[in-house]
Structure 1
Amino acid sequence: MNFLRTNLPCLGAALAITTLPAHAAGLGLSGELGTTGVGVHLSVPLAPQWNARFGVNYFDYSFSSSTNSVNYDAKAKLRTFDALLDWFPFSNGLRLSTGVIYNGNKIDATGRPRNNGTYTLNGNTYLASQAGQVDGRIDFKKFAPYLGVGYGNAVAPDQGWGFTADAGVMFQGNGSSSLSSSGCTASALICARLANDVAAENAELNDKVHGYNLYPVVRVGVSYRF
């Protein structure tokens, strides 16, 4: 069931693509690299100046971050599916794009003890060997509107290989964090205080990610018309 929930948007896209009318001709396929990761998009002509575009983007990368209290080892997991409508008002390949993106992007983070083997949470210091592990996750709303401009018409009649580019914004909403600790081996009193301090640290982390409600989309790639 978890597999079905996670992959439902991609499965829906695959079903939509495979049920396209048999007479649809001149499909275009593009591969891109950018802020959404590595992506593949299928372009479908709808009218002389209109295309539909469906794509999947994927990438993982690790980085370090911190709040005032805790340093984190973090891993960003980029997972998005695009369903876009492209309008070509001119004949030079410039396009305006809008649509919706299924936003599976998330960040997993693990608290990193200081060099002396301690955490400081909400002003209180704990031995990492007693406090256990501090883990967190940052999520965003799952469906995000998209608005952007771009270049390249993958299904232009005279197109074989071509260049494609996008520059836009995904309106992902404010991020939300969830932070928890596990494996506390100290006394019940200290573990209870730790839980309260983790909740305070989560509030600080939530404030830090709250303002990232716009995600820039910049990508370039190549396309091919079949």
Structure 2
Amino acid sequence: MNTKDALLAVGFLLVISSAAHAKSGQVGLAIKAGTLGGGLEVSLDVNPYLEVRAGINQVGFDFDTTIGDIDYNFAPDFSTSSLLLDLHPFGNAFRFTLGAYLNNNEVDIDGTYRQDLLSPELSRYADLIDQAHLVGLIEFDTFAPYLGIGWTSNHESRSRWGVNIDLGIMFQGSPHVTELHVEDPWGLGNYPVAEAFVEQERQEIEKEIDEYEYYPVASISLSYKF
């Protein structure tokens, strides 16, 4: 699901929810920023103890890292859609949150051999070696359960404006490296020795990023309730 489809789904949910529960509570709209990027969110106060939220988040960035003999540029492209239930056990701002994300997070991989590891004999060919790239993609489970806590400052208050805080964990599954292969001007990536090298690097990358099975979610948002 792309961002346009997710936004349409959120809008549809808002229309249905507000029609079904118009007498039960307020409808809210929020802009947010956090570890999943920036986004929009709609909410519905079902009663003093229950609130329903749906939203979209998106962000893209890149960073450099080194794994083994390869210098990598990782370029995360995060895109998620959420459906969350906020449980307010005391009827006030504090809440527990459970729900799920439609997780389209992925990371582009682009790696080159470390220049500092080249022998004196090979260093003269550094420019040629730098033309060989190890490229691929890191992917996660599409369905990602979520569990967290939070604070909704204007829940059951007279203020229409509010600040919302979320802290939790998205369970997005073990990351998988896919489509990993060597791109070079000479076609050497098709040889068995290159294929063995690619498989070894795939395992190294997955081992290095395995901890991201549990993705920390932290966000702050500004909301308005109609």
Provide the TM-score with structure 2 as the length reference: 0.83
Residue aligning to 1:74: 74
- For 2:110 and 2:127, locate their aligned partners in 1 and report how far apart those are by CA, in whole Å: 12
Single out whichever of 197-206 and 141-150 deviates more from structure 2: 197-206
Following superposition, the deviation at residue 51 of structure 1 comes to: 0.9
Single out whichever of 6-15 and 26-35 deviates more from structure 2: 6-15
1:32 aligns with 2:29: no
Q: Mark the CA change 1:92 to 1:16 in structure 2 (over 3 Å): closer, same or farther.
A: closer
Q: Does structure 2 retain, via aligned residues, the 8 Å contact 1:29–1:154?
A: no
Residue aligning to 2:183: 182
The number of residue pairs the alignment matches comes to 214
**Percent same amino acid at aligned positions?**
29
Q: Mark the CA change 1:187 to 1:218 in structure 2 (over 3 Å): closer, same or farther.
A: closer
- For 2:188 and 2:144, locate their aligned partners in 1 and report how far apart those are by CA, in whole Å: 45
- For 1:201 and 1:58, locate their aligned partners in 2 and report how far apart those are by CA, in whole Å: 29
Residue aligning to 1:210: 210
Q: Does structure 1 retain, via aligned residues, the 8 Å contact 2:69–2:113?
A: no
Following superposition, the deviation at residue 175 of structure 1 comes to: 0.7
Letter of the structure 2 residue corresponding to residue 180 of structure 1: H
- For 1:28 and 1:155, locate their aligned partners in 2 and report how far apart those are by CA, in whole Å: 10
Residue aligning to 1:122: none
Residue aligning to 2:122: none
Q: Does structure 1 retain, via aligned residues, the 8 Å contact 2:31–2:223?
A: yes
Q: Does structure 2 retain, via aligned residues, the 8 Å contact 1:184–1:191?
A: no
Letter of the structure 2 residue corresponding to residue 16 of structure 1: L
| Larger helix share, 1 or 2 | 2
- What is the correspondence of 1:57-96 to structure 2 with a 5 Å cutoff? 57-96=57-96
Any stretches of 5+ residues in structure 2 without a counterpart? Answer: 119-124
Q: Does structure 2 retain, via aligned residues, the 8 Å contact 1:147–1:168?
A: yes
Deviations 1:109-155 (A, max 9, x none): 1113444797xxxxxxx967377332121111011111111001556
Q: Mark the CA change 1:139 to 1:107 in structure 2 (over 3 Å): closer, same or farther.
A: same
SS at match of 1:20: helix
Residue aligning to 1:162: 162
